[in-house]
Amino acid sequence: MTLIEVKDLKKTYYSEGVETPALLGVSFNINSGDFIAIMGPSGSGKSTLLHILGFLDRHTEGEYRFDDKTLDDYGEEEIARVRNRKMGFVFQSFNLLARTTVLENVKMPLLYSDMKESLWNKQALDAIEAVGLSHRVNYVSSQLSGGEKQRVAIARALVNNPQVIFADEPTGNLDSKSGKAVMEILQNLNEKKGHTIILITHETYTAEHAGRIIRLMDGKIESDQIVNNRLKAEDHFTK
């Protein structure tokens, strides 16, 4: 089933009368259950594209459909609700609250959900278990390693059981061992749990865990290829 449809998408930033084009007409579809890597050098438009796909920014021209509705079909409140319930976000910088426990960090998205508060702990503990951090539940995030922090961020992205997880350079601040653990988790969420994964990365071996790689250059799609020799999680950084 098609989850995301992008047609001739364009984005231009305006600042003090100066126009800066970021996307120059990109088109593609993403199906539910896909694992897509979006690659490109700095300034290619990949972060801009992720922000539009994640309802964090609006496009200038073209069409973006999520779950068979255009962005213009969603009101502001519905956009916030969809972002909270159907989308999860993992960023390179983790974005955790430093003096807050793992459990409380993971529960944060539930504050804006319709789920009964009596269920929050179980929901968060299940997500923490899914990333292998049950033994760190009561640690504050400042006590964790970089790899553990990113796993907490993934658990937080998972807690509402979203349709799609957006991962923006999730291994960028990690050593190879921690990066491997993060990629194992993302790949398992895709292959075993059926989550759609959209990964922004500049690392070739990380991208090769995806089933498809879209390469951007100067705001345009340079290539869009299926990965025939997709790496297994345990192969990460071994070549």
The answer on pLDDT for 30 being more than 90 is yes
When mean pLDDT is compared across 23-27, 127-131, 148-152, 174-178, the lowest value belongs to 174-178
pTM: 0.91
Mean pLDDT of all residues in the chain? Answer: 91
* Average pLDDT of the residues in 71-85: 89
So what's the pLDDT on residue 235? 53
State how far the alpha carbon of 195 is from the alpha carbons of 31, 37, 85, 163, 190, in Å: 11, 14, 13, 6, 5
| Whole-number Å distance between alpha carbons of 13 and 17 | 10
For residue 189, give the H/E element and its range.
Answer: helix 176-191
Q: 83 — phi, psi (to 5°)?
A: -60, -35
- pLDDT digit string (tens) for 193-222? 899 999 999 888 889 899 999 999 999 999
pLDDT of residue 93: 86
Q: Which residues contact 233 (CB under 8 A, 6 or more apart)?
A: 180, 183, 184, 187, 188, 209
Reported as a single tens digit per residue, the pLDDT across 89-142 is: 998 888 899 889 999 999 999 988 888 999 999 999 999 999 999 999 999 988
Angle formed at CA 145 by CA 142 and CA 146, multiple of 5 degrees = 100
What was the pLDDT predicted at 234?
53
Residue 239's pLDDT is: 40
Q: What is the pLDDT of residue 238?
A: 43
